[in-house]
Chain A
Amino acid sequence: MAVENGLPREHYLNATYGIRSWLLTTDHKRIAMLYLASVTFFFFIGGTFASMIRIHLLTPNGYLVSPETYNKLFTMHGVAMIFFFLIPSIPAVLGNFLIPLMIGAKDLAFPKINLLSWYIYVVGGCFVLYSFSTGGLDTGWTFYTPLSSVYSNSAVTPAVIGIFINGFSSILTGLNFIVTIHTMRAPGMTWFRLPLFVWAHYATSIIFILGTPVIAITLLLVGLERMFHLGFFNPALGGDPILFQHLFWFYSHPAVYIMILPAMGVISEIIPTFARKPIFGYSFIAGSSIAIAVIGFFVWAHHMFLTGESVYAALTFSLLSYLVAIPSAVKVFNWTSTLYKGSISFDTPMLYALGFIGLFLIGGLTGLFLACLGLDIHIHDTYFVVAHFHYIMVGGAVMGYVGGLHYWWPKITGRLYPEFLARIAAVTLFIGFNLTFFPQFILGYMGMPRRYSSYPPEFQALNVMSTAGASILALGYLLPMVYLIWSMRYGQVAGRNPWPATGLEWQTDSPPLTENFDVTPEVTWEAYDFANRPDLGLDVPGAPVHAHGDD
């Protein structure tokens, strides 16, 4: 069906026309595009707040806004980025687009629920935007009580309602993925032939369905407390504010893995493709995703070492937090082992993947500093924490997302992005990111607390470096934004499998048909098996004959 010198005649983008055909679509690929547009919108809102924060911190006494407004800036930055960009970004855009293609299905198991989840996201987003524009939000993205439920004068109620509503969008996406992965796999697509991207999303979905309802009910209680002056979390009325923190982090720590696991899935796809080698230790990478999801539920109170929780509880949570490092390290070791003696090419997605490994390593290791009970008491609530989670969230999750967008862009649009510009953007992002956030490790270690609108003059040099880095980082995000849109019309036609890669998604047209495949594919090969795939047109001398590097 693929036409040699052009796009396929019919595909999901041109199958039907008009605004209704988009707003009422049940095609997972189109819903992914709706999500792409909406998460990008929230990314720029969150990014604008971030830029204002960095400009403000150019001078010790604050350059731009009043301390009250500063509180709102970092709160709204966090809420927009975490709940409306990072959590849905990879699952709802790339996962939505790719999971049915990767397992050889025509769609997700529940296409209408998939569309519903996007509408829920939009409604939740509207509530949050209403909060931002009618007084803003100044509680911190963590909504600690009783500040959020009693004392804050900002628009907490609509924000809490918005995040409550948005939670159901995550739950429905997770539910859809789990059922789809269980019941919709093509003949021959066994569990251990699934791409690791799918395993990562399965693990993410487990967190979606087990964690999200808890944050939903918690924020509902905060909302009720604020509206009806109840006392669940208000010590003045006999309630317990620490209970709020437990319930909040029971979701919000696993939510960190919601954000990073899908990015790890992306990296596990990119690395074998550009090292042209089966991934090393397939089953360990798959299992480590599940292990991260499970252990991730038992570490939440490491956010609360300074709340006066019992020493034994703190020690236990410290130890359990160290355990998460094991499956995370398994992944990093296996990715690097995959690179060993690989035939590596430095295409743009690979640059992002390599950047991810380095930044995730720094972010992960500094996470161990914070899991360490004694050390955490010193660097708690300092810029060290800010730097740590931005290394995981921006250096990890966003790098994975942007890398994944580049990697699958030819599949999504049928056209290639301009490679040279894209490499420049990837390097710009990497440099800008490190210049922004590495100084924050030092600032934090020297004792600069987070969430303050001013700082002692001796911290200015490092803050100026950080702000300078942020401007480079912003350029690194704007550049792909421009050339990716440009490439949708003018990019070189990609063909089915431009890299080439081994997954099922590359076996169909680019862009794919609405039904994904002409005939339901039958899988007879193992995942990432380059050696036994003559259809890829590769000559891979010396490549291992076995499917998995560890077999």
Chain B
Amino acid sequence: MHRSGELYGQFETMDQQRESASLGMWVFLVTEVLFFGGMFMTYTLNRSTYPDVFGEASRSINLTLGAVNTVVLIGSSLTMAMAVWAAQVGKTRLVTFFLIATLILGTVFLGIKGVEYHEKFVEHHVPGLDFNFELGASPATNAHAQLFFSLYFAMTGLHALHMIIGAGLLLWLIKESLRGRFTASYNTPVENVGLYWHFVDIVWIFLFPLLYLIDRH
């Protein structure tokens, strides 16, 4: 484990080490954009092929829970940003506080997501498992609605997986922070996990309108 502010052998200076870590994180996020990009492409194509069924299916998911989750997630981005700020100005206890707040909000998000998934199971809206969009729907409508829900589960599922990984990273940060590892001169891990957390947040900012809001006007 990295001791606070220790210089790794391959680097010459702390600046070089910090710059490398930060650039590495940005490059990783570029990769992530393309990773989600393939799914957004699949979504876009299918939605433009079946606009009516996609609209109908979109209306059947729980807007309130989705909206609450959006607020929760934006709130968690705020607390994450505050944690990074606290680390930069060297307020060690505040770092821990904001990291814990972020973790709690992230967990709330995942909990609400779980409630939404449960609803889908109850409504037979889980693709592949006795899927039935609505009584009396034609086989074609059912198949196209199943496409929507396949994408819904794949996209929100991949997003939730990123949230779970993020929560794991937060746990690690909290543990390190409790030992007072993050100071004004050394806080790269907080900053990088922060970047990751904001990225996952932004993905949701796109997912929410695309999945919940396409036919509500």
**Chain A interface (Cβ < 8 Å from any Cβ of B):** 105-111, 171, 175-176, 178-180, 182-184, 209-214, 216-218, 221, 224, 228-232, 237-240, 243, 246-247, 515, 520
User: Which of B22-30, B81-89, B92-100, B208-216 interfaces with chain A?
Assistant: B22-30
Contact residues in B for A171 (Cβ distance below 8 Å): 31
Which residue on B lies nearest to A113, using beta carbons? B24
Contact B28 A230 (CB under 8 A): no
- State whether the Cβ of B105 lies closer than 8 Å to any Cβ in chain A: no
Q: How far is the CB of A512 from chain B (nearest CB, A)?
A: 14
User: How far is it, in angstroms, between the C-alpha of A178 and the C-alpha of B45 when the chains are bound?
Assistant: 33
User: How far is it, in angstroms, between the C-alpha of A515 and the C-alpha of B9 when the chains are bound?
Assistant: 9
Residue tally, chain B, CB below 8 Å to A: 36
Contact residues in A for B41 (Cβ distance below 8 Å): 243, 246-247
Contact A183 B23 (CB under 8 A): yes
- State whether the Cβ of B19 lies closer than 8 Å to any Cβ in chain A: yes
Contact A232 B10 (CB under 8 A): no
Contact residues in A for B143 (Cβ distance below 8 Å): 231, 237-238
In the complex where A109-B24, A213-B32 touch, is A221 in contact with B38 (Cβ < 8 A)? yes
Contact A230 B23 (CB under 8 A): no
User: How far is it, in angstroms, between the C-alpha of A209 and the C-alpha of B154 when the chains are bound?
Assistant: 22
Contact B42 A243 (CB under 8 A): yes
Contact residues in A for B127 (Cβ distance below 8 Å): 228-230
- State whether the Cβ of B6 lies closer than 8 Å to any Cβ in chain A: no
Q: How far is the CB of B6 from chain A (nearest CB, A)?
A: 14
B 36-66 contacts with A by CB, 8 A: 36-39, 41-42, 45-46, 49-50
Q: How far is the CB of B45 from chain A (nearest CB, A)?
A: 5
Contact B24 A179 (CB under 8 A): yes
Contact A109 B10 (CB under 8 A): yes
Contact A106 B154 (CB under 8 A): no
- State whether the Cβ of B144 lies closer than 8 Å to any Cβ in chain A: yes
Contact A217 B38 (CB under 8 A): yes
Contact B31 A213 (CB under 8 A): yes
Task: Show 15 A/B contacts (Cβ-Cβ < 8 Å), sorted by A.
Answer: A109-B11, A182-B19, A183-B19, A209-B30, A213-B31, A218-B38, A221-B42, A228-B127, A230-B147, A230-B150, A231-B150, A232-B150, A238-B50, A238-B144, A240-B46
User: How far is it, in angstroms, between the C-alpha of A176 and the C-alpha of B20 when the chains are bound?
Assistant: 9
Q: How far is the CB of A227 from chain B (nearest CB, A)?
A: 9
User: How far is it, in angstroms, between the C-alpha of A110 and the C-alpha of B23 when the chains are bound?
Assistant: 12
In the complex where A210-B30, A213-B32 touch, is A221 in contact with B37 (Cβ < 8 A)? no
The A interface is mostly helix, strand or loop, or mixed, namely helix
Contact B140 A238 (CB under 8 A): yes
Contact A179 B46 (CB under 8 A): no
Contact residues in A for B151 (Cβ distance below 8 Å): 232
B 1-26 contacts with A by CB, 8 A: 9-12, 16, 19-20, 23-24
Contact residues in B for A231 (Cβ distance below 8 Å): 143, 146-147, 150
Contact residues in B for A217 (Cβ distance below 8 Å): 35-39
Partner of A178, one of B27, B46, B50, B154: B27
- State whether the Cβ of B136 lies closer than 8 Å to any Cβ in chain A: no
Beyond A175-B31, A224-B154: 13 further Cβ-contacts under 8 Å?
A: A179-B24, A183-B16, A210-B31, A217-B36, A217-B37, A217-B38, A221-B39, A229-B127, A230-B127, A237-B143, A240-B45, A240-B46, A247-B41
**Chain B interface (Cβ < 8 Å from any Cβ of A):** 9-12, 16, 19-20, 23-24, 27-28, 30-32, 34-39, 41-42, 45-46, 49-50, 127-128, 140, 143-144, 146-147, 150-151, 154
Contact A107 B38 (CB under 8 A): no
Contact residues in B for A218 (Cβ distance below 8 Å): 38
Which residue on B lies nearest to A216, using beta carbons? B35
User: How far is it, in angstroms, between the C-alpha of A240 and the C-alpha of B45 when the chains are bound?
Assistant: 9
Partner of A179, one of B27, B35, B147: B27
Contact residues in A for B20 (Cβ distance below 8 Å): 109-110, 179-180, 182-184
Contact residues in B for A108 (Cβ distance below 8 Å): 10
Partner of B9, one of A107, A183, A184, A520: A107
In the complex where A108-B10, A238-B144 touch, is A229 in contact with B35 (Cβ < 8 A)? no
User: How far is it, in angstroms, between the C-alpha of A227 and the C-alpha of B37 when the chains are bound?
Assistant: 22
Contact B147 A107 (CB under 8 A): no
Which of B10, B27, B34 gathers the greatest number of chain A CB atoms within 10 Å? B10
Contact A237 B146 (CB under 8 A): yes
Which residue on A lies nearest to B18, using beta carbons? A183
In the complex where A109-B20, A111-B10 touch, is A210 in contact with B146 (Cβ < 8 A)? no
Partner of A240, one of B10, B37, B38, B49: B49
Q: How far is the CB of B26 from chain A (nearest CB, A)?
A: 9
User: How far is it, in angstroms, between the C-alpha of A175 and the C-alpha of B140 when the chains are bound?
Assistant: 44
Contact residues in A for B49 (Cβ distance below 8 Å): 238, 240
Contact B16 A184 (CB under 8 A): yes
Instruction: Identify the 8 closest CB pairs spanning chains A and B, nearest first.
Output: A217-B38, A213-B35, A107-B10, A228-B128, A213-B34, A230-B150, A109-B20, A183-B20
Q: How far is the CB of A217 from chain B (nearest CB, A)?
A: 4
Contact residues in B for A180 (Cβ distance below 8 Å): 20
In the complex where A221-B42, A247-B41 touch, is A175 in contact with B36 (Cβ < 8 A)? no
User: How far is it, in angstroms, between the C-alpha of A183 and the C-alpha of B15 when the chains are bound?
Assistant: 10
Contact residues in A for B16 (Cβ distance below 8 Å): 183-184
Contact residues in A for B11 (Cβ distance below 8 Å): 109, 184
In the complex where A175-B28, A179-B24 touch, is A214 in contact with B147 (Cβ < 8 A)? no
Partner of B34, one of A179, A214, A232, A237: A214
Contact residues in B for A105 (Cβ distance below 8 Å): 10
Contact A214 B37 (CB under 8 A): yes
Contact A182 B23 (CB under 8 A): yes
Q: How far is the CB of B51 from chain A (nearest CB, A)?
A: 13
Contact residues in A for B34 (Cβ distance below 8 Å): 209-211, 213-214
Contact residues in A for B154 (Cβ distance below 8 Å): 221, 224
